[in-house]
Amino acid sequence: MENILENLNSSQFEAVTSMEGYIRVIAGAGSGKTRALTHRFAYLVNEIGILPGNILCVTFTNKAANEMRQRIHNMTGDNDTGYINTFHGFCVNILQEDSYAVGYPKSFLVLDNSDINDMLGMIYEERGLTLRDMTFRDARNKIEMEKLCNRPDYYHDLINLSIEELHQKYLDATEIMDIIFYGYLYQEKKCFGLDYNDLIKLVLYIFSKNKDIKLKWQQRLEYIMVDEFQDIDSLQYELMEVLCGYHHNLFVVGDPDQIIYTWRGADIKYILNFDKEFPDVKTIIMMENYRSSPQIINVANSLIDKNKHRIKKELIPTLSDGETAVCHFADSAEAEAKWIAEQIISLKESGVSYKEITLLYRAHFVTRELETALQKSEIPYVLYSGIPFYDRTEIKNTLAYLRMIAYKDDLSFRRIANVPKRNIGERRMKFIEEEAIKNNCSLYQAMCLELENDIFKGTKAHQFVDMIESFSSQYSDRLISELVSDVLDKSGYEKALRTEGSQERLDNLAELKQSIFNYETACGEESLLEHYLAHVALFTGSDQQEKGDRVKLMTVHAAKGLEFPYVFLCGMNEGIFPSKKTNTLERMEEERRLAFVAVTRAEKKLYLTEAAGHNIDGSPRYPSRFILDIDQNLLNYTEKPKDGLIENARGFITATEKHLPDNFEDDLFAVGQRIRHNILGAGTVMEINRDKLAYLIKFDEVKTARLISFRVKLESE
């Protein structure tokens, strides 16, 4: 075991050894915050003597949690690494222990998007809806909005209504959104499923209704640490506040300059006002950057300094001198992509591997020309926007087998009852569904009851049931890695893929087996199948790992928390980065923070590229204001910008900034509120359109509703 306090700088040492009370660490990009968190955890365990099971450390991705868990295991030598998890993953831990308080079994399902799509498919079929009414993606998004904003108390129906009452509410619904929403709640209740949005809501509900359960968790968690605190939303903040309510030991780490998820609910006020909300807060500043060259750090500092709403600070470089950041202005998007490909080839010839090179961009459409250029130059690459690993068919099918063994739920049954082919097609599935309704039971139970029915002659239904029953009776005594190999063999699924010659799918299954082995290694041999299934249901695209020597292409949002030796920041044009959708000064500052995040991903060398030409509407393309924000002495232009280009760009930016209003969020009128317009008269606010920064208002003297900009002065009536 390494010396926990060795090789820490003064601010890291202070963070690691500060124990009691409320502690806020402002940690700049690349300043070693993960090191501080893991060493503090190990210090609590090894030096103070705190039991790992009494420590909660919250991260924002499963990948980060796994890496942190492994580091802590190496430092403490203890297989018990306490609660190192995402907020939602930790809520799964709570519910697996206390879900009885809301009438849910410990073996509840954690639903992912694929499960929700399956549920929507059933609802659409039952109620005669089509994708013309609403796509599954739109339906998922609207369900999320309903749960978070429009029907925040929905969980009362999910918890308190019987399955029959919820079903009737679904059948009585006539509006499309009501049909989808209550149909979805009914499907959730039917299989004891909970989605991403339910987890924190139900935990907070349990804590509000059961003081003993709340106190148990408060007393258990003697020390709480929260990583990426700048990205916390209101529900997560409320949960954190409750959990630290007994010991009052809360340690948060974040950087206000890296908040880029306000559109997802993150609120900068939680980190900025932390010292006002909690008593006797100790603030520690960590600004020494151990990731990037001084040249890259200087670019980052110069860029973010243009934001006004921030804690004034600067990253301090610690590495030796590197190369000046390169800026390339191309004549077209095609020429920009071609130049990038040429630079990649040059780097490769100088000994740099492809996997050390990453292309970052604000929006996916930028990749069209990039991919074409890479393909022409025969440069291998991976695009981080394809099907996430855990959404691939063969992975979903394998996990459905594991879920079937643990839960015997309808969603998993529908997915794999006939995979591989067992002659249980549409007609027989319809029969099973009718029997399930008649007997008020699950689809699997219905098939078990009717196995001797003539309808199952000539099928492999018997073999399927025998296999599931055999595994269900003994899975709790087996390692998950052994179980999955056996399931893939006994089910015939792996053999079927071999027969098809699906080598890529077989490779993906091998990767899944390895990931399960890694999970067991990190969590210890006591890993439970139910815990693994809940864990993997919360995985996202950002949690996957790609292998091989390939150039990476990804959005800046996807790159958050990562680092790369050589970074090309592409498409640095006004209307691309910053996005043309940026319509307030506050959002412009978030765009600049996003550019700051992109710059600070680079370790050795940074390239900024943009393309001249014209936009779709015929307007000229200008370089991004973020390039112009940077002290021009810090950039090495491949060619001197054309005469007047910079001056014209600055003129365009100044003109557009005049039309960027301040954020109005705190002063908005509410839906239903009566207002008065100085020309159109009195009216009622019907909707608030935040994308267009406008109200939809029905004026008393105007026949149809009007969209009125936030900029226009309105008065309460």
pLDDT digits (tens, 9 = 90+) for 220-253: 999 999 999 999 998 999 999 999 999 999 999 9
More confident position, 2 or 268: 268
- The pLDDT value given to residue 75: 84
Are the beta carbons of 381 and 374 closer than 8 angstroms? Answer: yes
C-alpha 520/C-alpha 514 separation (Å) is 10
Is-catalytic flag, 228?
yes
Residue 223, strand partner residues: 55
Distance CA 403, CA 400 (A): 5
The mean pLDDT value for 299-317 works out to 92
Mean pLDDT of 35-63: 90
Strands 325-330 and 635-637: parallel
Catalytic residue among 258, 295, 459, 609: 258
Helices marked H in 210-318: 211-220, 234-243, 269-272, 274-277, 294-304
**Are the CB atoms for 279 and 561 separated by under 8 Å?**
no
What the block records as the tokens of 702 is 């105007």
Determine the average pLDDT of the residues in 364-382. 89
**CA-angle at 687, arms to 686 and 691, nearest 5°:** 155
- Mean pLDDT taken over the chain: 89
Per DSSP, 92 falls in state H
What pLDDT band is residue 617 in, cutting at 50, 70 and 90? low
Sheet holding 564-569, edge to edge: 381-383, 551-555, 357-361, 564-569, 602-611, 325-330, 635-637
pLDDT tens digits along 22-43: 999 999 999 998 899 999 999 9
The DSSP string of 16-85 is HH--SSEEEEEE-TTS-HHHHHHHHHHHIIIII---GGGEEEEESSHHHHHHHHHHHHHHH--S---EEE
> What token pair was written down for 133?
């009414």
pTM confidence score: 0.77
Neighbours of 190 (CB within 10 A): 17
How many angstroms separate the CA atoms of 526 and 509, rounded?
23
Per-residue pLDDT of 97-153, as tens digits, reads 999 999 998 888 899 888 899 999 999 999 999 988 998 988 998 999 899 888 889
Residues 6+ away with beta carbon under 8 Å from 35: 8, 12
b/e code 583-607 from CB counts within 10 Å (16+ = b): bbebbbbbbbbbbbbbbbbbbbbbb
| Most confident segment among 194-198, 297-301, 474-478, 542-546 | 297-301
> Helices in 491-555 by DSSP H: which ranges?
493-500, 503-523, 529-537
Are 108 and 99 in contact by the 8 Å Cβ rule? The answer is yes
Q: How far apart are the first and last CA of the chain?
A: 69
pLDDT recorded at residue 507: 77
CA distances from 551 to 356, 378, 380, 665 (A): 7, 11, 6, 41
Average pLDDT over residues 453-473: 93
* Cα–Cα distances in angstroms (integers) from residue 332 to residues 31, 595, 619, 717, in the given order: 37, 22, 14, 53
Phi, psi of 388 (to 5 degrees): -55, 150
DSSP per position, 131-193 = TTT--HHHHHHHHHHIIIII-TTTHHHHHHS-HHHHHHHHHH--SHHHHHHHHHHHHHHHTTE
pLDDT in tens, 500-533: 877 778 878 887 887 788 777 766 555 788 888 8
Predicted pLDDT of residue 1: 44
Residue 547: per-residue pLDDT: 62
Marked catalytic residue, from 601, 604, 605, 625: 601
Q: How many whole angstroms separate alpha carbon 80 and alpha carbon 82?
A: 6
C-alpha to C-alpha distance for 637 and 327, rounded to whole angstroms = 5
Average pLDDT over residues 444-451: 93
291 is an active site residue: no
Crossing angle of the two packed helices 62-76 and 503-523, in degrees rounded to 10: 40
Choice among 118, 146, 188, 227 that is catalytic: 227
Cβ within 8 Å of residue 277, ≥6 positions away = none
Please report the pLDDT score of residue 225 as a whole number.
96
Q: Is 211 a catalytic residue?
A: no
- The answer to whether 70 is a known catalytic residue is no
Rounded-to-integer distance, Cα 115 and Cα 187, Å: 10
Inter-residue contact 296 to 322 (CB < 8 Å): yes
| Contact between 697 and 683 (Cβ < 8 Å) | yes
CA–CA separation, 107 vs 59, rounded Å? 25
What is the C-alpha to C-alpha distance for residues 636 and 163, in angstroms, rounded to an integer?
Answer: 66
Distance, in Å, from the CA atom of 291 to the CA atom of 310, rounded to the nearest integer, reads 22
Which residue among the candidates 228, 255, 435, 591 is catalytic per the annotation? 228
* Among 28, 553, 35, residue whose Cα is nearest residue 314: 28
pLDDT higher than threshold 60 for residue 666: no
pLDDT of res. 561: 84
Kindly indicate the confidence band of residue 674, based on its pLDDT and cuts at 50, 70 and 90. Answer: very high
Q: HEC string of 451-472?
A: CCCHHHCCCCHHHHHHHHHHHH
What tokens were used for 451?
A: 């196995």
* CB-CB contact of 239 with 250 (8 Å): no
Q: Report the pLDDT value the prediction gives residue 545, as an integer from 0 to 100.
A: 56
DSSP assigned state of 620? B
% of the chain exceeding 70 in pLDDT = 95
- The DSSP H or E segment spanning 676 is strand 674-677
Question: For residue 465, what pLDDT is reported?
Answer: 95
Q: What integer is the mean pLDDT of 199-208?
A: 95
Q: Is the pLDDT of residue 309 over 90?
A: no
Contacts of 326 (CB under 8 A, 6+ apart): 605, 606, 607, 608, 635, 636, 638
Tell me, what DSSP letter sits at residue 378?
T
Catalytic, 601? Answer yes
Q: Which helix (H) or strand (E) holds 685?
A: strand 681-689
Query: Annotated catalytic residue: which of 24, 33, 560, 625?
Result: 33
What is the mean pLDDT of the segment spanning 685-697?
A: 83
Task: Kindly state the DSSP code that residue 419 receives in the 8-state scheme.
Answer: S
Residue range 395-404, pLDDT digits in tens:
899 999 999 9
Q: Does the annotation count 560 as an active-site position?
A: no
Q: State residue 546's pLDDT score.
A: 58
Judge whether residue 79 has pLDDT over 80. Answer: no
